[in-house]
């Protein structure tokens, strides 16, 4: 009697371990907003501009080289995830809409000081989406293209 109860408890325990989903915490960070919330999510925040070739070097956090006229953006760090790694956002095409217009750009970098929803744009994109580089900031919304 005692032995079979112990066996039953042991089997329950094994089943629980096997049934538990195996996920690393870094997966959760880097996919935040990308898969968990679904690909149709729209984000909004502040758009700013940066010069990749002179600020932080010309190699984006994602790897590929980028210049001041590249159609790329730096994604805010909360959504990018671990900045010393390639995010699952890397290489994703997004459509960004602002007061001036709408463009499609590729995520190639991370913006450490940006808040959730924010994007740092290259000048070529900033001019098309927000406009005045002297003002330098504007409201944007974006989603996967």
Q: Could you give the 3-state DSSP secondary structure of residue 127? A: helix
Question: What is the helix (H) or strand (E) element at residue 75, kind and residue range?
Answer: strand 72-76
- Residue 15 engages ligand NAG in binding (rule: CB under 6 A): no
What is the rounded distance in angstroms from the CA atom of residue 22 to the CA atom of residue 92?
Answer: 26
8 Å CB contact between 90 and 139: no
Q: Which is nearer to ligand NAG, 68 or 82 (CB)?
A: 82
> Cα–Cα distances in Å, from 102 out to 126, 127, 143?
10, 10, 11
- Residue 84 engages ligand NAG in binding (rule: CB under 6 A): yes
Interface with ligand NAG by CB under 6 A: which range of 10-18, 31-39, 52-60, 77-85? 77-85
Owner of token pair 């919330």: 37
Build a one-symbol-per-residue string for 16-55: x at contacts with ligand NAG by CB under 6 A, - elsewhere: ----------x-----------------------------
Count, residues near ligand NAG per rule CB under 6 A? 4
Applying CB under 6 A, among 46, 53, 71, 85 the residue interacting with ligand NAG is 85
Residues of the shown chain interacting with ligand NAG in the complex, contacts defined by CB under 6 A: 26, 82, 84-85
């Amino acid at each position: 009697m005692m032995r079979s109860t112990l066996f039953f408890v042991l089997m329950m325990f094994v089943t629980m371990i096997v049934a538990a989903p195996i996920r690393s915490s870094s997966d959760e960070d880097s996919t935040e907003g990308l898969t968990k919330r679904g690909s149709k999510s729209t984000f909004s925040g502040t758009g700013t501009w940066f010069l990749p070739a002179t600020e932080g070097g010309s190699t984006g956090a994602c790897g590929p080289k980028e210049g001041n006229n590249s159609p790329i953006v730096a994604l805010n760090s909360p959504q990018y995830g671990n900045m010393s790694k390639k995010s699952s956002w890397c290489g994703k095409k997004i459509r960004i809409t602002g007061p001036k217009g709408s463009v499609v750009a590729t995520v190639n970098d991370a913006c450490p000081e940006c808040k959730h929803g924010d994007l740092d744009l290259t000048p070529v994109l900033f001019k098309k989406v927000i406009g005045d580089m002297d003002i330098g900031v504007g409201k944007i919304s974006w989603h996967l293209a």
